[in-house]
Amino acid sequence: MAELPIWQYDTLFLITVVLFGVTALTMQNLMSAAIVFGAYSFLMCLIWTAMGAVDVAFTEAAVGAGVSTVFIVATIYNTGASAKPRKPRVGFKLFAGAVAVATGAFLLSALPDFPAWGDPQSPVNSTVAPYYIENTIRDAHVPNIVTTVLADYRGFDTLLETAVVFIACIAIYSILRVDSAKSTVDEPDIIAAPPAYDPTDSLIIRQASRIMVPFMQIFALYVIAHGHYSPGGGFQGGVILGASVILLCISFDLKFVLRQWTEKKIMLLTALGVLIYAAVGVACMFMGGDYLNYNALDPVLPGDMAYARYYGILLVEIGVGVTVMFSMIGIYIILASNGRFKRGL
Amino acid sequence: MEYIAYILIVVGLVFFLGTSIGLLRFPDFYTRMHAAGKGDTLSTVLILAGCIFAVASQGEMSWLIGLKILLIINFVFIGSPTATHAMMDAGERAGAKPWKKKGGDK
Amino acid sequence: MEEIVPKFNYIVVVILMMTGLWSMLAQSNLIKKCIGMAIFQTGIILFFISIGAKNNASIPIVAKEPLGQVLGQAHAPEGSQPPAKPELAAAKAKVYPDPPDVNKLTNPLTQILMLTAIVVGVATLGVGLALAQKVYQQHNSFDEDEILENQTK
Amino acid sequence: MTEHLPILIVLAPLLGAVFAALTSWFWPRVSFPIVLAGLAISCISSLLLVFEVPASGVIHYQLGGWGKQKEYADMVVGIQISVDYLNGLILAAVTTIALLTAIYSRPTVERELEGQQRYFYALFSLLVAGLLGITITGDIFNLYVFMEIAALSSYALLAYGKKRATMASFNYLIMGTMGACLYLLGVGFVFVKAGTLNIENLSQIIPDSLFSSQAAFVGFVLIIVGAWSKMAFFPMHGWLTNAYTYAPTASGALLAPLATKVSVYAMLRIMITVYSIDYIIQSPNIQTIAILLSTIAILVGSFYSLTQTNLRKIACFFIVSEIGYMVGGAWLANAPGLKGAIYHVVADAAMTSAIFMVIGCIIYRLGQADLKKLDGLYYRMPVTFIALVITMAALIGVPPTCGFFSKFYLIQGAAQAGTWHFVIALLISSLIKAIILFRIIEIAYNKVPNPAKDGNETIPREEAPLTMLIPTALVALGLIALGLATDTLVTDFIAKALPAGLTS
């Protein structure tokens, strides 16, 4: 048999990831389920780095593992619920298990038809992808191919992705936000059970976070700006910026952060990021190119045609970073404070 | 250079082993937290130091990568002891009582 | 075993997705459903990434050749005086190797799709948790059966 | 500027939403006109495009200036959006209905969403942008992202409603994400075998090399099942009735006609363009299953609507049975069946929009839409009642209205394909809708003594406000206009959308 195309270590990671996934779902206590889910996501990042997908691993570590675990924990904190053991509805669980097994078998029926794991000649790696690898330098002078394809070749996808983040923020705002003053929606105000202990305001945690936050923010700006050369870009940088402010929310209390970032400022800047991205596209339209065709911006930007794309990508990444940062902060504050923007985690 | 890296990483792993055994064996909250805290900070720092030496011998830009790893070590030193402290503090407020020798409550 | 080993990642992907699907359908706790949904999506992301992975290929960043090496090629070892201006510019332009070898870099296209999928996953998770929290406000429980009883009475 | 029309259709609502969200903090009253302007621009550009398609053939628009790369076997690099015969009509229908619903929804939003309407119109416009994106995009992964945009904004729009709306929206979220993930997995399977995501390239690659591959078959089934669960087709229709019944009238009036129909369009696009009709004929077992399921969907939808008294629930079960028409028609895989299905997508969007608008007017004026408490509707709200009768007539399939022609094609296709159970289901469902219509007429007209005669007390005539009444009347008359314009629509639009090879 030819040299086994399999990475021995990855099979080990994959098995452990499945174990983590299953335990995360079968755990009784919700909080521990959230923590195991966080561990599951971090292990997933490890697997993706081993497979060479560094940008995706970076995003998963920042967005998937970091922020979504914080969201789940904030929801659990606010509702203070833990999964009370209930009589299992065996009939329905079996039916659902049968459906899952049937779909799984149907999916596996296509197994022999798949290319082996990791062979460079598979149809995916031999049709459109070679164009990207060979022409990124010629087109946009950007070494990090992932950033070019993300912001330039398939820039429309990323605009829609930023719109998705923006919609998530407004959707959560309109679902949970209740300014109790003038809302007529009949919503019994079940205040979450007071937590077992009063939140700490110990000095050590505040000092530590006060030291860490500025460095986090500088590193995040570096990640956004340096997305052309090293793994990183708008999303990852934006999330780290958001995470630094969330760290402040946790170590100090919500009012401290809300004094600096008021609710209005957060929501406005979330919308502004999407506007920047769309405006760059519209500018290309007015300058004669197709939508999001940065070559059209050449007269405005320094350097030759390819460098116009280089700077176009940078502008777009900044727009993405702004939206992602403020929508992460917005989502966290609304989830943590159950929509009342007063006290929170 | 290579051998220093191997030694450091192995020592780091030994500490991790100690942490996991500690987590399983120790009777109550505080001692388990102590083991977790130690393993978390020390073994990570040792492994990272091993990485610095492992990277030091490749290419002429490696000192920059070494510097970046030093930064990471610095953050781990600030970050994880605070985390352990926070958990200890929360545990103490939540009323976890330390374990006493003569068969105190588990 | 012959058939299974080189396709091991697809099996793991299917197992992960089916646990996610099962938990979305069968778990009665709303938060567990959200976590199951997130696991379902990470399973799909693993599927896409494992398609794009290539054997012993490095990350999809076109590595710059150090300037010295390029200059060395441009100028035979005959003299040590710095090369004239145009050669330096040409050498600097050529710092990047002409089109990099496709098999040496992993497939960037699948990674872009997955950046989108991760962000969409987090957005859906956020909205799901917000809805779960509002349901909890109304029915004071995350359990689907209690909520149904509460609604019908 | 005219060559930028395709992108303008999607961009106008998107930018409208962003501006509405921005201005909602300074002058809340301005966000509605902005969204209205965005929808108007996209409506005008889509109408212009629809008339341009027969003249200049299929219109492609490359985003970012990338196009076919010669030396890479002219694979399309980057994303391409295209307007052709199949989606031209649907684009026009979606934009006009969205515009009318926006005008219609103003008073209901004022009354129902007192404190929360800051982002309502931004989400409204984003949902329309997502739906238009699904219709216009030429890239299957881009379709997934647009599907998520439409889904996320519809979860929020539904969650605005009363107490039970939140749980209904959560169930919709779970089912919707499951459908979207299955669709994404299907795209992954197709991507593994074909290597490209562009619909135009796929339509060349799949027919000549992938017809026999099992992975392409599994991918096809996954995409179809994903689309089915997004459109609430029979096995996965549980979420639709609760979601649309407890939602506020404005979001119900927008979501009901458009969200499910656009998923039907996505299924049609995959079936006709990407996987071409003879792939379906070649794999017969899915065809029989699909037609069987659609018959059950029609019967389930019709019988359940008999049992309900809440008008909105009845309308929701109508949607479930209408979806059965479209999926059944499409899967007959012969010319009349497909013509009926495509035509029915446009006709049903108009019909569902009309019925939800009428119910909205009733709820606005009478506070509830229960069948038993509608007595005297004819005297109290004559115009709305006439619109209701026209819509029900269209749903049953009375000749001048568009419902008749789509049913006519469907029955012709079914007869030709020999699937008699589908024909019987079609007839039964028309019968049941007729019963419901006569029940409504009986309650609204006869139960109350005729006030015109002097003996009885006169019933105050209280119509819904004008901004709600005019769109309702327009859509109801549109049903008849659509019916009369059928042959022009079918001959020079729908007939050309079908693949040439299709025989009879």
pLDDT in tens, D332-390: 888 888 888 888 999 999 999 999 999 888 888 887 778 777 777 777 788 888 888 88
Give the mean model confidence (pLDDT) for residues A307-314.
84
Distance from CA of C95 to the nearest CA of D (A): 25
Which residue from D minimizes the CA distance to C21?
Answer: D178
Kindly report, as residue ranges, where domains of CATH 1.10.287.3510 are found in chain C: 5-60+107-152
Q: Does A204 touch chain B (CB under 8 A)?
A: yes
Flag if D184 and C44 touch (Cβ within 8 Å).
Answer: yes
E strand map for D415-474 = none
Residues of A in contact with C49 (CB under 8 A): 48, 51, 53, 56
Give the mean model confidence (pLDDT) for residues D301-317.
88
Residues of B in contact with A200 (CB under 8 A): 86, 89-90, 93
Q: D44: part of which helix (H) or strand (E)? A: helix D31-56
Flag if B82 and A205 touch (Cβ within 8 Å).
Answer: yes
Residues of C in contact with D141 (CB under 8 A): 113, 116
Q: What pLDDT, on the 0 to 100 scale, is given for residue C83?
A: 54
Instruction: Using the predicted structure, report yes or no on whether residue D127 has a pLDDT greater than 90.
Output: yes
Range ranked top by mean pLDDT from A7-11, A117-121, A227-231 = A227-231
Best residue of A135, A167, A340 to probe chain D, by most D CBs closer than 10 Å: A167
Q: How many CB contacts within 8 angstroms connect chain A with chain B?
A: 30
Residues of B in contact with A66 (CB under 8 A): none
Instruction: Using the predicted structure, report yes or no on whether residue D134 has a pLDDT greater than 90.
Output: yes
Lowest-confidence pick of A322-331, C95-104, D62-71, D434-443: C95-104
Q: How many CB contacts within 8 angstroms connect chain A with chain C?
A: 306
Q: For the packed helices D31-56 and D85-112, what is the interaxial angle rounded to 10 degrees?
A: 170
Flag if A291 and D189 touch (Cβ within 8 Å).
Answer: no
Q: Could you tell me the two tokens for D125?
A: 């416009």
Domain A1-84 has CATH 1.20.120.1200: yes
Asked whether at least 3 C-beta pairs link D and B within 8 Å, the reply is no
| Among C22, C112, C134, beta carbon nearest to A150 | C112
Distance from CA of D171 to the nearest CA of C (A): 10
Average pLDDT of chain D is 85
Please give the Cα distance from A304 to D407 (Å, whole number). Answer: 60
As to burial, measured by CB atoms within 10 angstroms (0-12 exposed, 13-18 middle, 19+ buried), residue C123 is: buried
| Per-position DSSP letters for D418-432, written without gaps between them | T-HHHHHHHHHHHHH
Flag if C41 and D181 touch (Cβ within 8 Å).
Answer: yes
Lowest-confidence pick of A32-36, A63-67, D496-500: D496-500
Flag if D218 and A154 touch (Cβ within 8 Å).
Answer: no
Listed by start position, the domains of chain B span 2-93
Which residue from A minimizes the CA distance to D61?
Answer: A290
Listed by start position, the domains of chain D span 285-504
Q: Which residues, including other chains, have CB under 8 Å from residue D365's CB and lie 6 or more apart?
A: D380, D381, D462, D463, D464
Q: Could you tell me the two tokens for D198?
A: 């562009």
CA D128, distance to chain mean position in Å, is 11
Q: How confident is the model at residue A78 (pLDDT cuts 50, 70, 90)?
A: confident
**A321 backbone dihedrals φ, ψ, rounded to 5°:** -60, -45
**Residue with tokens 């839409």, as numbered in its chain:** D369
Q: Does C95 touch chain A (CB under 8 A)?
A: no
Other beta carbons within 10 Å of A121: 11
Q: Does C107 touch chain A (CB under 8 A)?
A: yes
Torsion angle of alpha carbons C39, C42, C46, C52, nearest 10°? 160
Higher pLDDT, A326 or D73: A326
Please give the Cα distance from A103 to A254 (Å, whole number). Answer: 45
Q: For the packed helices D249-269 and D120-136, what is the interaxial angle rounded to 10 degrees?
A: 10
Residues of C in contact with D167 (CB under 8 A): 135, 138-139, 147, 151
Instruction: Using the predicted structure, report yes or no on whether residue B81 has a pLDDT greater than 80.
Output: yes
Distance from CA of C26 to the nearest CA of D (A): 12
Instruction: Using the predicted structure, report yes or no on whether residue A302 has a pLDDT greater than 50.
Output: yes
Flag if A200 and B89 touch (Cβ within 8 Å).
Answer: yes
Flag if D170 and C17 touch (Cβ within 8 Å).
Answer: no
Flag if C51 and D188 touch (Cβ within 8 Å).
Answer: yes
Other beta carbons within 10 Å of A165: 29
Q: How confident is the model at residue A164 (pLDDT cuts 50, 70, 90)?
A: very high
Residues of A in contact with B79 (CB under 8 A): 208, 212
Q: Does C92 touch chain A (CB under 8 A)?
A: no
| Among A196, A204, A208, beta carbon nearest to B94 | A196
Q: What pLDDT, on the 0 to 100 scale, is given for residue A183?
A: 42
Q: What pLDDT, on the 0 to 100 scale, is given for residue A8?
A: 65
What secondary structure letter does DSSP report for B26? -
| Among B75, B90, B95, beta carbon nearest to A200 | B90
Bridge partners of D76, per DSSP, are D68
Asked if B32 and B87 count as a contact pair (C-beta separation under 8 A), the reply is no
Flag if C128 and D174 touch (Cβ within 8 Å).
Answer: yes
Flag if C143 and A84 touch (Cβ within 8 Å).
Answer: yes
Asked if A52 and C59 count as a contact pair (C-beta separation under 8 A), the reply is yes
pLDDT over 70, % of chain D: 95
Give the mean model confidence (pLDDT) for residues A44-72.
87
The Cα angle at residue D441 between residues D440 and D445, in degrees rounded to 5: 120
| Among A131, A156, A289, beta carbon nearest to D79 | A156
Flag if A176 and C39 touch (Cβ within 8 Å).
Answer: no
| Among C37, C116, C134, beta carbon nearest to D177 | C37
Cα dist from A277 to A242, B32, B56, D150, whole Å? 19, 49, 41, 20
Average pLDDT of chain B is 81
Flag if C48 and D188 touch (Cβ within 8 Å).
Answer: yes
* Length of chain C in terms of residues written: 153
Residues of A in contact with C3 (CB under 8 A): 111-112
Asked if B52 and B64 count as a contact pair (C-beta separation under 8 A), the reply is no
Higher pLDDT, A250 or A7: A250
What is the ipTM for the molecules in this complex?
Answer: 0.90
The sign of the CA dihedral B59, B61, B66, B68 is: negative
**Coil, helix or strand for D403?**
helix
| Among D170, D177, D184, beta carbon nearest to C132 | D170
User: Which CATH class name applies to C5-60+107-152?
Assistant: mainly alpha
| Among A18, A47, A92, beta carbon nearest to C26 | A92
Q: What pLDDT, on the 0 to 100 scale, is given for residue C71?
A: 58
Q: Which residues, including other chains, have CB under 8 Å from residue A56's CB and lie 6 or more apart?
A: A48, C45, C49, C111, C114, C115, C118
pLDDT over 90, % of chain A: 13
Listed by start position, the domains of chain A span 1-84, 128-345
Q: Could you tell me the two tokens for C86?
A: 């145009």
Asked whether at least 3 C-beta pairs link C and A within 8 Å, the reply is yes
Q: What pLDDT, on the 0 to 100 scale, is given for residue D124?
A: 92
Q: What pLDDT, on the 0 to 100 scale, is given for residue B106?
A: 45
Which residue from D minimizes the CA distance to C42?
Answer: D181
Please give the Cα distance from D289 to D183 (Å, whole number). Answer: 19
Lowest-confidence pick of A44-53, C1-10, D160-169, D202-211: C1-10
The predicted-structure confidence for D459-496, as pLDDT tens digits, reads as follows 677 777 788 888 888 888 888 888 888 888 777 777 77
Bridge partners of D61, per DSSP, are D81
Q: What pLDDT, on the 0 to 100 scale, is given for residue D279?
A: 82
